[in-house]
Chains A and B, each alone.
Chain A
Amino acid sequence: MFATRLPKHLPRPHLACRKISSTTSKRSDALFVHRDTPYNNPKVPFEFNAENLKRAQEIISHYPPQYKKAATIPLLDLGQRQNKGWTSISVMNYVAKLLEMPPMRVYEVATFYTMFNREPIGENFVQVCTTTPCMLRGSYDILDTVCAHLGGVKPGETTKNGKFTVIEVECQGACSNAPMMVVNDDFYEDLTPATTKKVLDAFAKGEKPKPGPQSGRHTSENSAGLTALTSKPYGPGEFCTPEFR
């Protein structure tokens, strides 16, 4: 914005010592165009199973008939769940057909939201949050632990046995219990490298550990014990004159 003023304020840079300030370019790990592959092409059939079709109809019925397209996101999510956690081109085309909208409108939505995986993922989808609050509480250690524990995968990769896919994500809204990660649909919070491994091991065995804080505290209560609101909250009618009891 102050480009025109720049020369006046800065000494003429010496070519040899010009500072190059650069941010690493953060590109999305996904392509924003579709490429036909043997596992992902429009010819791969996809259709909702009977149960999901019923749920889809229920979702669509929430919206006025001319705004059926409002159901795009929930239907894509439904499709993604049915399709082993990823949204293939066939899922998108099917949703478009179901909602009678041009497929491109669905592709736009599916590419805009990063929670639609447009490439296949492993059985368990591990998303480690590395946004500032989590980062301050050591989320990179957690990420490194996850990657190393799963046999040296890099974020964005799937383990060889197809059991886990790890990615780095932005804030999941559980900052008060940082650091945290999401496995499939559940949050695992207050992680340490040790508890992280435990959680992952449980998933590897096909179990489902208890979601929430792994430190033993109750939700996001002060971990050092309550300092306020320690007395019993009074219930309805207490301290009222008799006629209001």
Chain B
Amino acid sequence: MLRLVSSASKPTSVGILTKVVAPSCSSLAGRRSFASTSARQADITLTVDGKEVTVPQGSALIQACEAAGATIPRFCYHDRLAIAGNCRMCLVEVERSPKPVASCAMPAMPGAKVFTNTPLVHEAREGVMEFLLANHPLDCPICDQGGECDLQDQSMRYGADRTRFHEITGKRAVENKDLGPLVKTSMNRCIQCTRCVRFANEVAGVEELGTTGRGNDMQIGMYVEKTMDSELSGNVVDLCPVGALTSKPYAFHARPWELKHTDSIDVMDAVGSNIRVDSRGVQVMRIQPRPNDDVNEEWISDKTRYAHDGLRFQRLTNPLIKQGDRFVAASWEDALSAIASGLAKSGAQGDEIQAVAGHLADTEAMVALKDMINRLGSDNLTLDSVGGHAAPVHAVDVRSNYLFNSTIPGVEQADAILLVGSNPRHEAAVLNSRIRKSWLHTSLEVGLIGERVDTAYGYDYLGADAKAVADFVAGKGPFAEKFKAAKKPLIIIGSALAEHPDGAAVYNALAKFVEKNKSTLLTPEWNGFSVLQRATYEVGFVSSRKASSVKPKFIYLLNADEVDPKSIPRDAFVVYQGHHGDLGAQLADVCLPASAYTEKSTTWVNTEGRSQLGRAAVPPPGASREDWKIIRALSEVVNTPLPYDDVLSLRDRMWEISPTLVRYDTVESTSVEVALAGLKTLAAATASAKVSGTPFVKPINNFYQTDPISRASVTMAQCTRAFVKGENYGFSELSSASEAAYA
């Protein structure tokens, strides 16, 4: 029934029989059974409700019906999960078939005549609905799914108006499971569609969720007591067609019809997941994924989904000026003139004026800040990461040197992937699920150089340091051979590698490797050199070598909260612009309150170089303003007015810098010649790099807290306690207390 495939192997769990039974060399490869779909064949034509439709061969009947514009009710079918066919809600009538057929589990056949709207179909679906409702509690008024529940909606159409079940013993009762601080369960409501199980096993790689028992007693759970430790767990809340799995942090907070939906872009990682921000009044109530096959499919990570409560705490709402050892609230005017006089008093000239841009800085603000700093005569632009003050090893002149060139959907085409110093599971959780998908369904081979991590798929471990890279490049080891033989090999370089002391050497080795193997790694259709970056180099926010060595006297921190306090000279005048009172604000002499990603309509560039436009869902709190406007206002006060007065002219300026910044939602690929030239310069620039041999470490230790928003979030703190530290997170008591209060 379920097309479940064997587990992601943890390198440690080797059964004692491996040696005896399976040939030891292929213990991993042997454990994966893959069901690959045959190459797409001809299209077929069939008739649905008298309408002819043409669909690719191998589509399910339900897809053909959709294509013909007939809506088929469903619970278990989901187009991104394996087919289970266990809810029977999708019954349709097919000519010459004696019984109604489940359209999701039936392949479309050429010439079939399908009817989706006959009395037989209606009666059949009503019957199914009656059985589902027989054991479903009638608790819609206190159910969080109310208003967006598939069962509720479909029972409006197919439900009987009265019940025939009068079981005095009551309905089936199932105990609730404790899946952790994110997913709340109410298992009485479960209709056993197994969507959550299929998601957890296929997509998220949590192979601990399953079904126990059978028949009326079947239940969803982990059998033993366990939390659902996955960075994608929140998606089961969306998948659950009923209210069995709901969101714990959002429990009893709002009804779907009270919410305003705003389509936007996520900034918690460099994937740029498409999200829908649901807000009520001035508060963001929740964040939902928005399907985009080119980026996040239909999933988002838990940080994306749940960190938004951090937007309510620790916010900077007023301009602040430091007097003595405390901050005093001030007006915008005072704050801006304080900066102007601070700049004058610090005596900073030229490159002594430094700007630091953090991970959450938007493109508009970075462009404005860069322009202002340049106009002040400085070239000292720094990124807020380890070693961010120096020019990055891969330089920024050629885009393909620092972008995720294969593109995110392209990952699925790769037949061999080498991960260097990266844990995509934490750096780009949604991207990782694509690798897992491909690993499950194709013969993809993955190799890893760096710290050992649980990636949710099996990999060949090649080593931890630059030496392993050198061996790989030299073609030593079985994985290097497999990589050579691959048709579409892919190298994914982790975001932290450029910051590593051996970064330059590794980039050098890999660039040369790509050049040498350009017949497979660099073709017009395929660029297998991909960098999982966190910072945007797209606007050229980098310093020249000369400028970076100057000791700054005036520092402008734009959303920079990872800075090392020691790197800031004592006597420098520091301005912090951002939305949270995190590390950066503590270092500042003047704090300017800016807006967070849900409060501004700005451009975000993801790791592929794809620009996407976010939209403001709620107004910024207090006196805070949009980032670029603050910089524009400040430029006036420091007597170097920027030439743009509205966001459109600012975007014209962005177009001048790089047209890709305003070509939304597309990825512009670099031509082979340019990419090659880029790699050549990269190799030449890093030719003298020395290898120190320190092992690469994973860039993210705590997935749940990586930026000021998630650090301020209560939910993320609970996740940290539950999943990272493994403590009893104590959320259950809390939520049951509030439930009691509502009862």
Contacts and interface: CB of A to CB of B under 8 A. Distances in A.
Interface in B139-170: 160-162, 164, 166-170
A3 B160 contact: yes
B20 A108 contact: no
Contact of B22 (A1, A25, A65): A65
A134 to B, nearest CB: 21
B208 A6 contact: no
A37 interface: no
B138 interface: no
Contacts of A42: 224
Contacts of A3: 126-127, 130, 160, 162, 164
Interface size class of B (residues with CB under 8 A): 35 or more
A68 B17 CA distance: 10
B21 A57 contact: yes
Interface stretch (B60-68, B211-219, B638-646): B211-219
A104 to B, nearest CB: 4
Contact of A104 (B14, B26, B168, B222): B222
Contact of A21 (B31, B130, B166, B224): B166
A240 to B, nearest CB: 49
Interface in B215-241: 216-219, 221-225
A101 B170 CA distance: 38
A88 to B, nearest CB: 12
Interface stretch (A28-36, A125-133, A171-179, A216-224): A28-36
B162 to A, nearest CB: 7
Interface residues of A, number: 44
Given A25-B169, A69-B6, A105-B210, A1 B124 contact: yes
Given A1-B130, A3-B126, A56-B17, A22 B212 contact: no
Interface string B1-34: 0001011010001111110111100110011110
Given A1-B127, A24-B169, A111 B223 contact: yes
A32 B208 contact: no
A101 B33 CA distance: 12
B160 A60 contact: no
A33 B223 CA distance: 5
Contacts of B164: 3, 6
Contacts, number: 128
A169 B221 CA distance: 26
B16 A102 contact: no
A155 to B, nearest CB: 17
B325 interface: no
B123 interface: yes
A18 B163 CA distance: 13
Contacts of A61: 21
B93 interface: no
A98 interface: yes
B550 to A, nearest CB: 56
Nearest to B167: A22
Contacts of B14: 100
A76 interface: no
Contact of B219 (A20, A32, A103): A32
A98 B33 CA distance: 18
A32 B126 contact: no
Contacts of A107: 210, 212, 223-224
Nearest to B125: A1
B209 interface: yes
A97 interface: yes
A104 B209 contact: yes
A124 to B, nearest CB: 26
B18 A100 contact: yes
A241 interface: no
Interface in B119-136: 123-124, 126-127, 130
Interface in A1-55: 1-4, 6-7, 18, 20-28, 32-34, 36, 42
Contact of A66 (B30, B214, B216, B223): B30
B13 A22 contact: no
A23 to B, nearest CB: 8
A21 to B, nearest CB: 7
B207 interface: yes
Nearest to B29: A66
A107 B224 CA distance: 9
A1 B123 contact: yes
B126 A111 contact: no
Nearest to B160: A3
Contact of B207 (A65, A66, A99, A102): A102
A98 B214 CA distance: 25
Nearest to B211: A108
A105 B223 CA distance: 10
A104 B20 contact: no
Contacts of B32: 66
A34 B224 contact: yes
Contact of A20 (B124, B160, B166, B207): B166
Given A33-B223, A100-B9, A57 B214 contact: no
B293 interface: no
A119 to B, nearest CB: 14
6 nearest A-B pairs in the assembled complex, by CB-CB distance:
A3-B160, A1-B127, A32-B213, A102-B207, A65-B22, A107-B223
Interface of B: 4, 6-7, 9, 13-18, 20-23, 26-27, 30-33, 123-124, 126-127, 130, 160-162, 164, 166-170, 175, 177, 207-214, 216-219, 221-225
24 contacts: A1-B123, A1-B127, A4-B126, A6-B160, A22-B168, A28-B213, A28-B217, A32-B217, A33-B219, A33-B225, A60-B17, A65-B30, A66-B31, A67-B33, A97-B15, A97-B16, A100-B13, A100-B14, A103-B208, A104-B222, A105-B4, A107-B210, A108-B211, A108-B223
Given A4-B160, A97-B15, 10 more contacts: A1-B123, A6-B160, A33-B175, A33-B221, A65-B26, A66-B6, A68-B21, A105-B207, A108-B211, A108-B223
